Structure 1
Amino acid sequence: MSKLTAILGWGSLIWDPKDLDYNKQLGWIYDGPNLPIEFARISKNGRLTLVITENGTFNKTFYTFANMKLTFEETIENLRKREGCNKKDIGFYKAETDEFHSEDFKYKEEIRNWSNEKKIKNIIWTDLPEKWSYKNENDETINVNPKERIEYLKNLTGEKKELAEEYIIKSPIEIQTLYRKQIEEELLWLPVVKENKKVRYFNPNEKNFFLYSHNLSGFGTLTCRNCNSKDEMHFSGRDFVSIQCQSCGSLELLKDNETISNCECGGKLEKDKPFFCRNCDSFKLSYNVKLLT
């Protein structure tokens, strides 16, 4: 079994990882264990967030791997800090000893079976429970009936409403729940498809196209196997690196040690990201070399 630690995700951990120390080159893989997920926790800033709950809809989750330099305990602490929660709220599974935290976790078989299938021995996840109360401006505790969660969202105002909507629409479109459907129908908070920062997910089952610095250079045609669109592209070499804007998809050739600034569109230029088709967002690309020097 792999000694790497897998981190499971289904919500903002994917689109807003903050200081999570994970394998950014690999990204998030949509092939995690099936777990019951629902918008069922009122956070400190008013958002209604996704958690594992027996009242949820079973969904395939996402996973990535923690930085391999971290110990298992350091990985747990890193996730805890990102989530701003207590250590007891980070769930984990150690396959070698068949140890779970918490001991009364209800979906052990789902985790255990997935661990065996993927040959991953260490797995961690955020295990916050449902929460249906919040403090109002007078520091009074207000309880919300779970059946009235849509009304709760409707009654939010100002920044809290903006943050709540952002969380809902940026949650991975693959995560489909009973209440997500109702929220979309009643509030028209629809999943983000394209905005300044496009939402895409790296699929490890596809042949994804990376470029790395080496001693050769040249140019060729980048062809999308999904929509057949084409781009002329230089590839890495001789102290240069080819990178792509993660928003508009434009291709840039920069010196390897050059400070990366934002694209003209305002989007991020990032190294070590798989290239995607800027017409349809697919990662299914092939590269035909025209000139090699």
Structure 2
Amino acid sequence: MKTAIIGWGSLLWDDRPQFDQHHGPWYFDGPLLRLEFTRISVSRKRALTLVLEEELGAECRVAYTISNRESPAQAIQDLRIRENASEQQVGVYLPRTESSGLSQATVPKTISDWADQTDFDAVIWTGLPNNFHELNDLGEAFSHTSAITHLESLCEEGKRKSVEYIFRAPEFIRTPLRSELESLEWFAALWEQSRDLPRS
């Protein structure tokens, strides 16, 4: 069975051999999805990371790759381990099946419309939620102001990981927060300072 994996963030640039050995090259004509940097990542020292955002996000054309696993279940497990995600946090759409029989995040219509035009047996993606309100220190809802305040409050490693994640996101990922952050002198300066440091 042919399984496509949709990606838009660190899947494309943060090398993880245990995951990357099980898929092919990335293609950049995937579906249009609404994305924004609204998730606080514990594993990245509270950096902001990209997630699907139907209300807050900006529409971006995303990438996809093809798993070399024999079954969608194997590809799902690969993605779960790579993303440290639960079963409910991996989205699955099976174009030629009315019910997948698998637990999934909500399927954006743009994914189903795109997948229905392909020969894929399954399309999977990471469906981690926005957790900004729950995990930022002030308990505020996401906004550009609260996001910048959050980033400014991070330890130096957290700031570096945030800058790395946002600047290394593919150029086709254009969100309002990214544009605002890239215009801030301290943010751009930290990127220049950190870009030659060893990757953790």
Same topology, TM > 0.5: yes
Q: Report the Cα offset of residue 173 of structure 1.
A: 1.2
Structure 1's 120 and 12: CA in aligned 2 closer, same or farther, altered over 3 A?
Answer: same
Task: Structure 2: give runs of 5+ residues left out of the alignment.
Answer: none
SS of equivalent to 1:152: helix
Superposed CA RMSD in Å reads 2.7
Report which stretch shifted further, 74-83 or 91-100: 91-100
Q: Indicate whether 1:128 and 2:124 are aligned.
A: no
Instruction: Report the equivalent of 1:52.
Output: 52
TM-score, normalisation: structure 1: 0.57
Alignment match of 2:157 (pick from 156, 159, 163): 159
Greater strand proportion: 1
Which deviations, in whole Å up to 9, do the C-alpha atoms of 1:156-188 show, x marking residues without a partner?
222111111111111111110111111111244
Instruction: Report the equivalent of 2:74.
Output: 74
SS of equivalent to 2:85: coil
Contact 1:90–1:126 (CA under 8 A) maintained in structure 2: yes
Greater helix proportion: 2
Instruction: Report the equivalent of 1:150.
Output: 148
AA matched with 1:174: F
| 1:212-223 matches, cutoff 5 A | none
Which deviations, in whole Å up to 9, do the C-alpha atoms of 1:52-90 show, x marking residues without a partner?
011101110000011234x21111111000011211100
Give percent identity, aligned residues only: 32
TM-score, normalisation: structure 2: 0.82
Instruction: Report the equivalent of 2:98.
Output: 98
Instruction: Report the equivalent of 1:172.
Output: 170
Contact 2:35–2:60 (CA under 8 A) maintained in structure 1: yes
Task: Structure 1: give runs of 5+ residues left out of the alignment.
Answer: 136-140, 197-293
- CA distance in structure 2 between the aligned counterparts of 1:37 and 1:163, rounded to whole angstroms: 19
Structure 1's 75 and 23: CA in aligned 2 closer, same or farther, altered over 3 A?
Answer: closer
- CA distance in structure 1 between the aligned counterparts of 2:60 and 2:125, rounded to whole angstroms: 15
Structure 1's 103 and 82: CA in aligned 2 closer, same or farther, altered over 3 A?
Answer: closer
How many pairs align? 186
Q: Report the Cα offset of residue 143 of structure 1.
A: 2.2
Q: Indicate whether 1:85 and 2:81 are aligned.
A: no
Alignment match of 2:7 (pick from 6, 9, 21): 9
Structure 1's 15 and 103: CA in aligned 2 closer, same or farther, altered over 3 A?
Answer: closer
Which deviations, in whole Å up to 9, do the C-alpha atoms of 1:80-109 show, x marking residues without a partner?
0001121110000011213366667251x2
Contact 1:168–1:189 (CA under 8 A) maintained in structure 2: no
- CA distance in structure 2 between the aligned counterparts of 1:48 and 1:115, rounded to whole angstroms: 29
Structure 1's 104 and 10: CA in aligned 2 closer, same or farther, altered over 3 A?
Answer: closer
- CA distance in structure 2 between the aligned counterparts of 1:7 and 1:93, rounded to whole angstroms: 11
